[in-house]
Amino acid sequence: MTGPRHSCGVIGMYCSDDVTSDIFKALRMIQHRGQESAGISVFNGSKVITAKGTGLVSDAIKQTGMQAINGNCGIGHVRYPTSASKSEKNAEPIEVQITHGTIALAHNGAITNYQELKKKYLDTGWSFLTDSDSELISKIIAKHLIQNNDPVKAIRSTMGEIEGAYSLTLLYNNRVFGVRDPYGFRPLCVGWLGNGYILASESVAIDIFEGDLIRDIAPGEVVEITANEIKSHPSSVNYPSAHCMFEWIYFARPDSVIDGREVYDVRKAVGEILASESPADVDLVMPVPDSGRAHALGYSIGSNIRYEEGFMKNRFAERTFILPDQKQREDSVAMKMNPIRSTVNGKRILIVDDSIVRGTTLVKLVKMLRDAGAKEVHVRIGCPPVIAPCYYGVDMKSRDQFIATKYSVNEICRKIGADSLGYISVPGLVKAIGKPENDICLACLNNRYPTNISGETHRFQTTLRNSY
């Protein structure tokens, strides 16, 4: 499959006071969900005003003068970088003008029938400015709005056309909507701020205002928020959900609560289960910072083996994962991590990371620990082997990039130079998440996809398609 894939962060807000600077603050709380670009759209009393740009929230929005805009409702977006993306053009919110006013849309996820739908609309004479699926969604909503000027109906009709993963916030003139796809792949929750409501990808964006997390938006639900009300338009179809396991394992902040489960708690449970599934006779347990920290702590608790910090991470180093070539990725790991020699020297060490994708990070880290005098280096991983591409918003594209599609666990262990290697099992992961297996998307681990993807196997025998 081709087409854009991105896991991002979205915000929506409606309050009795100005929301512009609060949307800015909320976006900074979900900055980890995307650093490529950021944007805000606010209704200023007469029209929708959008400011967006590349880089971190503070760079992208601060200099635009957006802080001077006053408005009671608006939305915001942070975009996750992928090596191929054209950042400036694809920044969100995407604005579309129609007869009745302006739509601004912020999207987290990936539309799996994007190419098919885009072709269909190109053939009817539409044109597109970007290769972003968010532009397509906003134009389809606009098409339906022009027909009936009823935003809920327009959103529902759009949901009948698009497939895949989408958590959306939508500003339509002075109205704010939140939408979650029928499978609930990507998170979206709603909170009370004392003077209005907030929609957010993660609950940490509610915490900073000392607000209350009210609930998650249900899969397939459309909500409208005002300063004093949440109007719910639930789905009439009851699908099994397919919450992305990678949100808990890697993507979300540990202090967020997603679909009723705190991310930190899940990661710690992963570590404890790993300790029982894959024990080791070692002196110290160490995290690969920052992503493996809670998993390692759980392993230490589960195994009763002492926890120590073995690496210092350079906070200002670039993100390794998205660099375009292997040499750059390897150099970047060295820039990012440095061993603490006094803790490592002469010890049998077990390091815990959240996931192995290509294996780049661990090859480097194991060698670093040996160079720093480690006697043995064992590796444990908080996510089962990644073997299949994600079509729902995580930047893991093709099977040939995954080390686990080419090699067995023993071979990977040899490749990364470790004394032993253990991954958490799929049942262990499901247990740590604490939800029924059928409510979690495990497609990147078991090759079974919750929706129809051409060339891939559906996770159920019977085929479910969106119907509204």
- Measured CA to CA, the distance from residue 412 to residue 419 in angstroms comes to 11
**Candidate residues 6, 395, 422, 440; the one interacting with ligand 5GP per rule CB under 6 A:** 395
- Measured CA to CA, the distance from residue 207 to residue 66 in angstroms comes to 23
- Measured CA to CA, the distance from residue 457 to residue 453 in angstroms comes to 8
Q: Does 120 bind ligand 5GP (CB under 6 A)?
A: no
Please return the burial class of 233, using the count of CB atoms within 10 Å of its CB with bins 0-12, 13-18 and 19+: middle
Binding map of Mg ion across residues 42-81, x = CB under 5 A, - = no contact? ----------------------------------------
Q: Does 291 bind Mg ion (CB under 5 A)?
A: yes
CB of 392 to ligand 5GP, least distance (A): 12
For residue 394, the partner it binds in ligand 5GP, Mg ion, none, with Cβ less than 5 to 8 A by kind, is ligand 5GP
CB of 326 to Mg ion, least distance (A): 17
Q: Does 85 bind ligand 5GP (CB under 6 A)?
A: no
Number of helical (H) and strand (E) elements in the chain, helices listed first: 17, 25
Binding map of ligand 5GP across residues 223-262, x = CB under 6 A, - = no contact? ---------------------------x------------
For residue 250, the partner it binds in ligand 5GP, Mg ion, none, with Cβ less than 5 to 8 A by kind, is ligand 5GP
CB of 167 to ligand 5GP, least distance (A): 17
Please return the burial class of 180, using the count of CB atoms within 10 Å of its CB with bins 0-12, 13-18 and 19+: buried
3-state SS assignment for residue 353: strand
Q: Does 291 bind ligand 5GP (CB under 6 A)?
A: yes
Q: Does 321 bind ligand 5GP (CB under 6 A)?
A: yes
- Measured CA to CA, the distance from residue 443 to residue 455 in angstroms comes to 13
Q: By C-beta, is 96 or 381 nearer to Mg ion?
A: 381
The residues in 143-162 that bind ligand 5GP, with binding defined as CB under 6 A, are: none
Greatest CA separation for the chain? 72
> DSSP labels for 269-313?
HHHHHHHHHS----SEEEE-TTTTHHHHHHHHHHHTPPB---EEE
Phi-psi region of 181 (alpha: psi -120 to 50; beta: other; left: phi over 0): beta
Q: Using CB positions, name the residue nearest to Mg ion.
A: 291
User: For 241, which DSSP code?
Assistant: P
Which residues fall within 8 angstroms of residue 301, CB to CB, at 6 or more apart? 268, 271, 272, 275
**Candidate residues 86, 306, 319, 414; the one interacting with ligand 5GP per rule CB under 6 A:** 319
Question: Does residue 8 carry a catalytic annotation?
Answer: yes
Structure tokens at 181: 């796809």
How many other C-beta atoms are found inside a 10 Å radius of the C-beta of residue 272? 20
* Residues in binding contact with Mg ion, number by CB under 5 A: 1
3-state SS assignment for residue 53: strand
* Span of 123-131, 318-326, 370-378, 435-443 interacting with ligand 5GP by CB under 6 A: 318-326
Q: Does 353 bind ligand 5GP (CB under 6 A)?
A: yes
Which residues fall within 8 angstroms of residue 243, CB to CB, at 6 or more apart? 184, 185, 187, 258, 259, 435, 439, 440, 441
Q: Comparing C-alpha atoms, which of 121, 162, 132, 93 is closest to residue 4? A: 132
Q: By C-beta, is 313 or 375 nearer to Mg ion?
A: 313
3-state SS assignment for residue 172: strand
CB of 270 to ligand 5GP, least distance (A): 13
For residue 152, the partner it binds in ligand 5GP, Mg ion, none, with Cβ less than 5 to 8 A by kind, is none
For residue 357, the partner it binds in Mg ion, ligand 5GP, none, with Cβ less than 5 to 8 A by kind, is ligand 5GP
Q: Does 35 bind ligand 5GP (CB under 6 A)?
A: no
Q: By C-beta, is 196 or 389 nearer to ligand 5GP?
A: 389
For residue 311, the partner it binds in Mg ion, ligand 5GP, none, with Cβ less than 5 to 8 A by kind, is none
* Span of 35-43, 151-159, 357-365, 457-465 interacting with ligand 5GP by CB under 6 A: 357-365
* Span of 184-192, 231-239, 356-364, 435-443 interacting with ligand 5GP by CB under 6 A: 356-364
* Residues in binding contact with ligand 5GP, number by CB under 6 A: 17
Structure tokens at 439: 């409510």
Q: Does 112 bind ligand 5GP (CB under 6 A)?
A: no
> DSSP labels for 380-410?
EESSPPP-S--SSSSS---GGG-HHHHS-HH
- Measured CA to CA, the distance from residue 396 to residue 95 in angstroms comes to 28
**Candidate residues 357, 379, 404, 412; the one interacting with ligand 5GP per rule CB under 6 A:** 357
CB of 354 to Mg ion, least distance (A): 6
How many other C-beta atoms are found inside a 10 Å radius of the C-beta of residue 367? 14
Q: Name the residues annotated as catalytic.
A: 8
Contacts to Mg ion by CB under 5 A: 291
Report the interface residues with ligand 5GP, using CB under 6 A. Answer: 250, 288, 291, 319, 321-322, 353-361, 394-395
